[in-house]
């Protein structure tokens, strides 16, 4: 009932030329895969060219960030409205943004509101750090992040949550399927508390952190996991395609 999502977060990788080549290498095959929502999130500068290449296909486009102000003197920033004409989704609150760019729960909340305000679907990232995990604080951390990110947001309108334990991102040390499923079940219960059962049943919650073609089969059969946010492995056409086709076969 919840269509799985596989989103590729390219992070700060690929020149425009490389982005175009990567999409050309997988576009036709990716387009054919059914029962999976396929999302590519290239850097800002490649959104328009990648958007052109996937026009008319079943592949969707997402940005990796936005700034919450409507417009004005914010040199270097990109607003929700600027993205609304280019893509359908936007990653918000990625742990790298929280870690390197000082994004707080309040900032993430404003960004979620800005995205929803123009009809962009946020992929809201939450997840605990290694020390928090080891201290048994995972649930406390993710429920706190969820609450602050969604403060004052009345309707989630297609928002997707990505549970990404920080210790699993880019480390090759993925969570186990059971661990991810358990925390995602907890996140879903939290959403039920913040909204209602229907919202919680319908919202897609992804796992992210060192997902590859070799381990995706561990996550997708888990009942609470509705897909993956894939970093490193989304930069290789054959590997990303394999993640998507395996997900489709397990659906």
By annotation, the residues acting in catalysis are: 94, 164
User: Does 107 sit near ligand PGA (CB under 6 A)?
Assistant: no
Least separation in angstroms between residue 241's CB and ligand PGA is: 16
Q: Do 227 and 234 contact (CB within 8 A), yes or no?
A: no
Looking at beta carbons, which residue is closest to ligand PGA?
231
Least separation in angstroms between residue 158's CB and ligand PGA is: 19
Angle at 182 between CA 219 and CA 166, to 5 degrees: 75
**Which one, 123 or 200, has the nearer CB to ligand PGA?**
123
Alpha-carbon distance of 53 to 64, in angstroms, equals 19
Per-residue binder mask for ligand PGA (CB under 6 A), 195-234, x = binder = -------------xxxx-----------------xxxxx-
Q: Which of residues 129-168 bind ligand PGA (CB under 6 A)?
A: 164
With CB under 6 A as the contact rule, the residue among 170, 178, 214, 221 that binds ligand PGA is: 170
Least separation in angstroms between residue 137's CB and ligand PGA is: 21
Q: Which of residues 23-82 bind ligand PGA (CB under 6 A)?
A: none
Count of residues touching ligand PGA (by CB under 6 A): 13
User: Does 169 sit near ligand PGA (CB under 6 A)?
Assistant: yes
Q: How many CB atoms lie under 10 A from the CB of residue 76? A: 5
User: Does 122 sit near ligand PGA (CB under 6 A)?
Assistant: no
**Which one, 190 or 210, has the nearer CB to ligand PGA?**
210
Q: Do 108 and 148 contact (CB within 8 A), yes or no?
A: yes
Least separation in angstroms between residue 100's CB and ligand PGA is: 12
Least separation in angstroms between residue 16's CB and ligand PGA is: 21
**Which one, 51 or 208, has the nearer CB to ligand PGA?**
208
Alpha-carbon distance of 183 to 223, in angstroms, equals 12
Binding residues for ligand PGA, per CB under 6 A?
Answer: 9, 164, 169-170, 208-211, 229-233
């Amino acid at each position: 009932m919840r269509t799985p999502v596989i989103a590729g977060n390219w992070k700060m990788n690929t020149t425009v030329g490389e982005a175009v080549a990567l999409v050309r290498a997988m576009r036709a095959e990716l387009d054919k895969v059914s029962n999976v929502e396929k999302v590519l999130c290239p850097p800002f500068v490649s959104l328009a060219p990648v958007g052109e290449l996937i026009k008319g296909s079943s592949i969707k486009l997402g940005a990796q960030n936005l700034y919450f102000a409507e417009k004005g003197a914010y040199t270097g920033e990109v607003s929700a409205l600027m993205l609304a004409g280019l893509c359908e989704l936007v990653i918000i609150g990625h742990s790298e943004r929280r870690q390197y760019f000082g994004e707080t729960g309040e900032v993430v909340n404003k960004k979620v509101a800005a995205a929803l305000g123009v009809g962009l679907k946020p992929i809201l990232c939450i997840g605990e750090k290694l020390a928090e995990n080891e201290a048994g604080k995972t649930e406390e951390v993710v429920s706190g992040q969820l609450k602050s990110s969604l403060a004052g947001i009345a309707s989630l309108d297609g928002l997707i949550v990505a549970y990404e334990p920080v210790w699993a991102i880019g480390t090759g040390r993925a969570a186990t399927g059971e661990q991810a499923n358990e925390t995602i079940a907890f996140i879903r219960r939290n959403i039920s508390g913040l909204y209602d059962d229907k919202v919680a049943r319908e919202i897609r919650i992804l796992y992210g952190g060192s997902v590859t073609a070799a381990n995706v089969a561990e996550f997708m059969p888990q009942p609470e996991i509705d897909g993956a946010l894939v970093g490193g492995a989304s930069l290789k056409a054959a590997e990303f395609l394999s993640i998507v086709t395996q997900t489709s076969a397990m659906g």
